[in-house]
Amino acid sequence: MSQQLLTSGLALWQWRSAAQKAALAANVPVTEVDWLLQEVAGLDRLSLRLESFKNLPQIPLQLSLEELENLWQRRVNEHLPVQYITGVTPWRHFKLAVSPAVLIPRPETEYIIDLAVAAVQNHHCQLEAGHWADLGTGSGAIALGLAQALPLATIHAVDCSAAALAVARQNAQALGLAHQIHFYQGSWWEPLNFKGQLSGVVSNPPYIPSQLVPQLQPEVALHEPWLALNGGNDGLDCIRHLVATSADYLQPGGIWLIEMMAGQAEVVAALLQSHGSYCDIAIYPDLAGIERFALAYRRGE
Ligand code: GLN
């Protein structure tokens, strides 16, 4: 889409006003109109902010107004997430590539990186330079966040989807973090061979109960990969698997950190407790106050 089309500033401004009205009526964030103009049409942020484009007789755009309108119709009428239209999402310090093969990284997940870093700093400094796993990496967000925050660490990022791994690899290259991350296609621990050696495992596994997946907001239920959402009957299938298997891979003192759904904290803490190999089990809320993260350490020798 490098083609440059000349569009009248006034016509664009009128399209934008109409699209913003449509957003309000459809309960879509109004800012997504500008996101589209910036990311897909190539309009610069300052002209958008100052609305100075309105007075230009001609603006070079990468799309015609008709093409923009078609994309916006998909956003509003088909509930296609704007991130899948633009192909990018902001996440932590990154602008990540995303495609419908990956879950769009959520703002609440950003905090899992800070929790991992705090766990390293507060408890187990020697873990910083070690090997970490991100299981179910999707777009690679968690692996990338860990690689950036722990520059001495090596991250092993696993996903069963080849299409997701392609996106994750692309992100690692673009962000200059590829040297720190190894990617593997497979199921959970299957492609990894680090028994007893890992400094930490961090994961945002699928955790939505199967019957709730179709009831999620249409942007999610209709367009995001169910593979990344569906956690089985009670939503806990993957988390149970992670509790049961991670202890074999973590070194003593190694960090176990996952994201979960509202209402799962008590069960997850009980699973960790009854397994017997974990200690210092703690639950952390996300910025909305929802119990979102479970952290534990591999018990010592
Ligand atoms: N947080 C995601 C959602 O609300 C779910 C992610 C997951 O299942 N890991 O749709």
Which tens digit of pLDDT belongs to each residue from 202-260?
A: 999 999 999 999 999 999 999 999 999 999 999 999 999 999 999 999 999 999 999 99
> Above 70 in pLDDT, residue 54?
yes
Residues 284 and 200 in one domain: yes
Atom nearest to 136 CA in ligand 1:
9
Rounded Cα gap, residues 40 and 32, in angstroms: 11
Residues 240 and 156 in one domain: yes
Evaluate whether residue 95 is within a structural domain.
no
Q: Which domain holds residue 163?
A: 107-298
Cα 231 to ligand 1 centroid, rounded to whole Å:
10
pLDDT at 1: 47
Sign of the torsion formed by the C-alpha atoms of 114, 294, 135 and 162:
negative
From 61, 78, 95, the end of a domain falls on 78
pLDDT at 50: 87
Residues 247 and 155 in one domain: yes
Share of the chain above pLDDT 90, in %: 92
Q: Is 137 among the annotated ligand-binding positions?
A: yes
> Above 80 in pLDDT, residue 123?
no
Q: Which of 36, 59, 29 is nearest to 47 (CA)?
A: 59
Query: In angstroms, what CA-CA distances link 50 with 7, 34, 47, 70, 127?
Result: 18, 12, 5, 25, 48
pLDDT at 59: 93
pLDDT at 43: 94
Evaluate whether residue 153 is within a structural domain.
yes
CA angle 84, 177, 82 (to 5 degrees): 10
Cα–chain center distance at 168 = 11
* E strand intervals along the chain: 5-7, 59-61, 88-91, 94-97, 131-135, 154-159, 181-185, 198-203, 250-259, 278-285, 291-298
Write b or e for each residue in 271-291: b if 16 or more Cβ atoms lie within 10 A of its Cβ, otherwise e.
bbeebebbeebebbebeeeeb
The answer to whether 116 touches 296, Cβ cutoff 8 Å, is: no
Cα 290 to ligand 1 centroid, rounded to whole Å:
13
pLDDT at 300: 87
Evaluate whether residue 186 is within a structural domain.
yes
> Above 90 in pLDDT, residue 56?
yes
- State the chain's mean pLDDT as an integer: 96
Q: Which of 26, 5, 15, 29 is nearest to 68 (CA)?
A: 15
> Above 60 in pLDDT, residue 2?
no
Q: What is the mean pLDDT of residues 73-78?
A: 97
Q: Is 138 among the annotated ligand-binding positions?
A: yes
Q: What does DSSP say about strands 291-298 and 278-285: parallel, antiparallel, or unpaired?
A: antiparallel
From 35, 57, 78, the end of a domain falls on 78
Residues 165 and 273 in one domain: yes
N-terminal to C-terminal alpha carbon distance within the chain: 58
From 60, 78, 96, the end of a domain falls on 78
Q: Is 184 among the annotated ligand-binding positions?
A: no
Both structure tokens of 191:
């492609």
Residue whose CA is at the smallest distance from ligand 1 atom 1: 106
Cα 160 to ligand 1 centroid, rounded to whole Å:
17
Q: What is the mean pLDDT of residues 17-36?
A: 97
Rounded Cα gap, residues 114 and 158, in angstroms: 21
| pLDDT band, very low/low/confident/very high, at 301 (cuts 50, 70, 90) | low
Evaluate whether residue 92 is within a structural domain.
no
Question: Which residues lie with the beta carbon below 6 Å from any ligand 1 atom?
Answer: 103, 106, 204-208, 216, 220, 229
Evaluate whether residue 63 is within a structural domain.
yes
Residues 113 and 224 in one domain: yes
pTM assigned to the model? 0.95
Residues 62 and 117 in one domain: no
Residues 58 and 146 in one domain: no
CATH number at residue 170: 3.40.50.150
Q: Which of 83, 208, 257, 264 to mutate to test the pocket of ligand 1 (most atoms within 8 A of CB)?
A: 208
Share of the chain above pLDDT 70, in %: 98
Residues 115 and 242 in one domain: yes
Cα 180 to ligand 1 centroid, rounded to whole Å:
26
Cα 265 to ligand 1 centroid, rounded to whole Å:
15
Residue 182 φ then ψ, to 5°: -105, 135
Rounded Cα gap, residues 215 and 5, in angstroms: 41
Residues 231 and 179 in one domain: yes
Q: Give me the residue label for tokens 């910025």.
A: 287
Note the pLDDT tens digit of each residue in 83-93.
Answer: 999 999 999 99
> Above 70 in pLDDT, residue 74?
yes
Evaluate whether residue 268 is within a structural domain.
yes
Both structure tokens of 104:
């769009």
Note the pLDDT tens digit of each residue in 145-180.
Answer: 999 999 999 999 999 999 999 999 999 999 999 999
Rounded Cα gap, residues 98 and 114, in angstroms: 22
Atom nearest to 231 CA in ligand 1:
8
> Above 70 in pLDDT, residue 22?
yes
Residues 113 and 44 in one domain: no
pLDDT at 125: 63
Evaluate whether residue 101 is within a structural domain.
no
Residues 156 and 288 in one domain: yes
User: What is the count of structural domains for the chain?
Assistant: 2
Evaluate whether residue 234 is within a structural domain.
yes
> Above 60 in pLDDT, residue 286?
yes
Q: Which of 207, 224, 264 to mutate to test the pocket of ligand 1 (most atoms within 8 A of CB)?
A: 207
Rounded Cα gap, residues 119 and 294, in angstroms: 12
Residues 10 and 61 in one domain: yes
